[in-house]
């Protein structure tokens, strides 16, 4: 019998309630029934984004929402500041390049954190930046950046702050309005507990002012069109939406509301801590910082003498536990345990068990049960 445990930072496990919701007979999107659903979904998105701003929905992966931010906020040749410390920071760079922007990159090594002082110094040096692009939860390394501190700095300038919260939304807190984050982008397949295929962008008034002046070409991802669709009394999308995913999102947002944001983020912090403590107890070295903010992904260095691909294949084939490998320059050097979304203590315990068994089988010296016991102790301390 092969039972599978998807422990990757996207796609992630989906609650049965959400899967069942998405299996309902399809409804038409130009109906009162859909408008009612879409209005509820929009309120739910504002709740999780912690914003009063409109949250726009697109049928695309998260990168689509990132691209939408670039094309709606900027004009060719605009100066932008990009904070990059991993694969998804690099994606902002690639998007800026693709659309002919003049970017300055605050580049940190993989595993590094954005230093808010560097952002302050760059904005002071050149007040001409239109936007600052940052990654909230850098999925490729497990680092969660200090968006609150960066937000406080950018708020004092003309530039808008754009945060890629694709893996952070719903697992590492981001207080969009309170922290002054003008644009937050997210995707469906991480902590929002949905299949891939929907992406989101919240847009502040400061950002809308920029949208009115920006001239990069856009069509499907035109934010103004998406905002027009949101107007009451019959909110809808500009184009045919991913109807079944929207129905599923309604169910997922209902679960998130029921749990409440405080408990949601506490659960994620506890899983992050348990994973880190367990890995350390096994004598492995963390790649992501040992920081309570790192609640979405735990990145671990592949121990000496072990082949990453072999370890992960064994965990999947023999124990059904699927981890993610390293990305970009970290390929082969780290593996990543995703715990953003529909995860709790049981998933962490199973993952650490499989890790111990697989390492043992590959001849790496581990004391069986040591990591699990440490993780369990963390759950006991934190009240699970």
Ligand X SMILES: Cc1ncc(COP(=O)(O)O)c(C=O)c1O
Residues that bind ligand X (CB under 6 A): 10, 61-63, 88, 135, 137, 139, 164, 166-167, 187
Write out the DSSP string of 136-195.
SEETTTTEE--HHHHHHHHTTSSSEEEEE-TTTTTTS---TTTTT-SEEEEETTSTT---
The angle, 0 to 180 degrees and rounded to 10, between the axes of the packed helices 345-361 and 261-281 is 20
Q: Which is nearer to ligand X, 135 or 353 (CB)?
A: 135
Length of the chain in terms of residues written:
384
Tell me the torsion sign for CA atoms 114, 118, 123, 125. negative
Q: Is 229 exposed, middle or buried (0-12, 13-18, 19+ CB in 10 A)?
A: middle
239 closest CA partner among 252, 256, 266, 221: 221
Beta bridge partners of 54: 203
Ramachandran angles phi, psi of 363, nearest 5°: 90, 10
Ramachandran angles phi, psi of 341, nearest 5°: 120, -130
Tell me the torsion sign for CA atoms 275, 281, 282, 287. positive
Q: Which is nearer to ligand X, 187 or 371 (CB)?
A: 187
Peptide bond into 64 cis (omega under 30): no
Strands (E), the chain: 5-6, 54-58, 79-84, 102-107, 131-135, 137-138, 143-144, 160-164, 183-187, 199-203, 297-301, 321-322, 324-325, 334-338
Q: 287: helix, coil or strand?
A: coil
Could you give the CA distance from residue 120 to residue 133 in angstroms, rounded to a whole number?
14
Could you give the CA distance from residue 268 to residue 292 in angstroms, rounded to a whole number?
10
Could you give the CA distance from residue 19 to residue 17 in angstroms, rounded to a whole number?
6
Whole-Å CA distances, 111 to 90, 115, 236: 13, 13, 40
């Amino acid at each position: 019998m092969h039972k599978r445990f998807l422990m990757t930072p996207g796609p992630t496990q989906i609650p049965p309630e959400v899967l069942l919701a998405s299996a309902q007979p399809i409804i038409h999107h130009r109906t009162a029934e859909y408008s009612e659903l879409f209005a509820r979904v929009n309120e739910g998105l504002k709740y999780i984004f912690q914003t009063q701003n409109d949250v726009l929905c697109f049928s695309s992966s998260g990168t689509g929402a990132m691209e939408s931010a670039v094309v709606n906020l900027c004009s060719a040749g605009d100066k932008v500041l990009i904070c990059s410390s991993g694969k998804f920071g690099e994606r902002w760079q690639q998007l800026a390049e693709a659309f002919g922007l003049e970017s300055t990159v605050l580049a940190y090594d993989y595993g590094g954190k954005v230093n808010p002082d560097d952002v302050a110094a760059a904005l002071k040096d050149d007040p001409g930046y239109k936007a600052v692009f940052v990654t909230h939860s850098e999925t490729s390394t497990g680092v969660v950046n200090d968006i609150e501190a960066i937000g406080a700095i950018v708020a004092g300038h003309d530039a808008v702050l754009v945060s890629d919260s694709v893996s952070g939304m719903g697992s590492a807190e981001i207080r969009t309005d309170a922290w002054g984050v003008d644009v937050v982008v997210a995707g469906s397949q991480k902590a929002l507990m949905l299949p891939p295929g929907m992406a989101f962008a919240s847009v502040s008034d400061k950002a809308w002012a920029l949208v009115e002046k920006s001239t990069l070409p856009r069509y499907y991802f035109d934010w103004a069109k998406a905002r027009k669709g949101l107007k009451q009394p019959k909110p809808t999308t500009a184009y045919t939406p991913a109807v079944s995913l929207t129905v599923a999102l309604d169910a997922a947002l209902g679960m998130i509301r029921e749990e409440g944001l405080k408990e949601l983020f506490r659960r994620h912090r506890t899983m992050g801590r348990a994973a880190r403590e367990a890995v350390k107890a096994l004598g492995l070295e963390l790649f992501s910082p040992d920081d309570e903010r790192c609640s979405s992904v735990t990145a671990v260095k592949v121990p000496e003498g072990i082949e990453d691909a072999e370890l992960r294949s064994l965990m999947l084939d023999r124990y059904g536990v699927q981890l993610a490998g390293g990305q970009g320059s970290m390929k082969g050097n780290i593996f990543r345990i995703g715990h953003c979304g529909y995860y709790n203590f049981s998933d962490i315990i199973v993952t650490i068990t499989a890790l111990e068994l697989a390492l043992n089988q590959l001849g790496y010296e581990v004391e069986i049960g040591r990591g699990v016991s440490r993780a369990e102790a963390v759950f006991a301390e934190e009240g699970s």
